[in-house]
Chains A and B, each alone.
Chain A
Amino acid sequence: MTAPLDRRAATARMLRDRGDALVVTGLGNPTYDVAAAGDTPLNFYFWAAMGGAAMAGLGLALAQPRRRVLVVTGDGEMLMGLGSLATIGAEQPLNLGIVVLDNEHYGETGMQVAHTGRGVDLAGIAAATGFKLAVTVRTEGEVDSLAAQLFTVPGPLFAAVKVSTSPSPTSLPPRDGPYLRSRFREALLGPDAHV
């Protein structure tokens, strides 16, 4: 086994070639990781509403079929919204990808072990619900090949990226809800954001 990946480096690598992709983050570390990779109005950060990131990604992907939508979330958040994998599997959105930064723990609450650390295989669940790609990623080489697919091959795509529990430097994006939603819509929709 190789050492678990660094979550910040893996996130930055996956987002490097995002182009005009829209990114939704799950609360906690994934929000901070995506912000650290580069804050942009086309990131929508969850700060709560645990379990909802993947479904927000689905609604966004259906509304914007020409754009790529990537959800970056954690294993605890994904476990809380496990049914959404079934819903996304049933809907088959071609432009949606979900990356779970899986440290097998609940980082925000004191590093309690999550089910992913007790044998539960999120990629296996995603595969069973019909995701076109469903992989577990453990090495930098696998992150590279995932990054090459995330914004190019037809979805729905799923990856559990196994990352370490090592703490990362603080990186807090804006958390004012109306600001986050208005800047996102204005960047995406232009003047129509205000109709």
Chain B
Amino acid sequence: MVESAPVMSVSWPAHVFHELQTARVVQVAYVPDAGHGALIDLCHADTAMRAVSLTTEEEGVAMLAGAWLGGQRGALLLQSSGVGNCINMLALNQECRIPLLALVTMRGEWGEFNPWQVPMGRSTGAALETAGVLVYRADAADDVAPTVRAAAALAFHSSRAVAVLIGQRVVGTKSFAK
């Protein structure tokens, strides 16, 4: 069993939360995820934000498009396995040039135990790019917040769909030991 192996700082969720605040993100849509757990908790605890738990990730793509039409910025927090669920809904962003900021925690790569996570993990970046999303990646904890900052600026200033892939090496590998 590979132990969790976060690289350097473990406070990246707090730094990302600060970037979301700075970018005036109000609506945060997510499917519950261990990798995003600390960030989700921070968003729920902030009375200026509205964190919404989804049944499936494409709900968040549509919800945040509605939020933006209504004048609020949002962020979608998801795991790489959820990216595949979003593909058709991303037509909203590509055709209408509606911003999207998606933060994706990766599975199926660094030390993955579960082989069923590997296929979507391997195709996450390519699937997003094919669907018109600009894709950035952070593989060190200290790179996550600056990458989110740049992605948020690009998304909201240039009206583009932007995803940040947060490497499994940063998130930590899930342990299946009970």
Contact = CB atoms under 8 A, between A and B. Distances in A.
A178 interface: yes
A103 interface: no
B53 interface: yes
A159 interface: no
Given A22-B70, A58-B63, A58-B66, A52 B89 contact: yes
Contacts of A181: 69, 96-98
Contact of A63 (B27, B29, B53): B27
A87 B55 contact: yes
A11 interface: no
B82 to A, nearest CB: 13
Given A48-B95, A49-B91, A177-B97, A184 B69 contact: yes
A62 B72 contact: yes
Interface stretch (A78-86, A142-150, A164-172): A78-86
A192 B29 CA distance: 23
B63 to A, nearest CB: 4
Interface size class of A (residues with CB under 8 A): 35 or more
A185 B98 CA distance: 11
Main secondary structure of the interface of A (DSSP, over half): helix
B59 A83 contact: yes
B59 to A, nearest CB: 5
Contacts of B53: 87, 90
Interface string A52-68: 11111111111110000
Interface string A73-109: 0000000010110110011000000000000000000
Interface in B61-94: 61-72, 74, 88-89, 91-92
Nearest to A86: B55
B117 interface: no
Contacts of B61: 52
B145 to A, nearest CB: 24
Given A52-B89, A53-B62, A81-B59, A60 B70 contact: yes
Interface residues of B, number: 33
A192 B69 CA distance: 11
B58 A188 contact: no
A180 interface: yes
B92 A49 contact: yes
Contacts of B56: 83
A56 B98 CA distance: 12
A137 to B, nearest CB: 25
A185 B71 contact: yes
A28 interface: no
A70 interface: no
B70 A63 contact: yes
A51 B65 CA distance: 13
A72 to B, nearest CB: 14
Contact of B55 (A46, A84, A177): A84
A52 B96 contact: no
A195 to B, nearest CB: 9
A50 interface: yes
Nearest to A81: B59
Contacts of B52: 58, 62, 87, 91
13 contacts: A46-B92, A49-B89, A51-B88, A56-B92, A60-B67, A62-B70, A63-B26, A63-B70, A83-B59, A84-B59, A91-B52, A178-B96, A189-B71
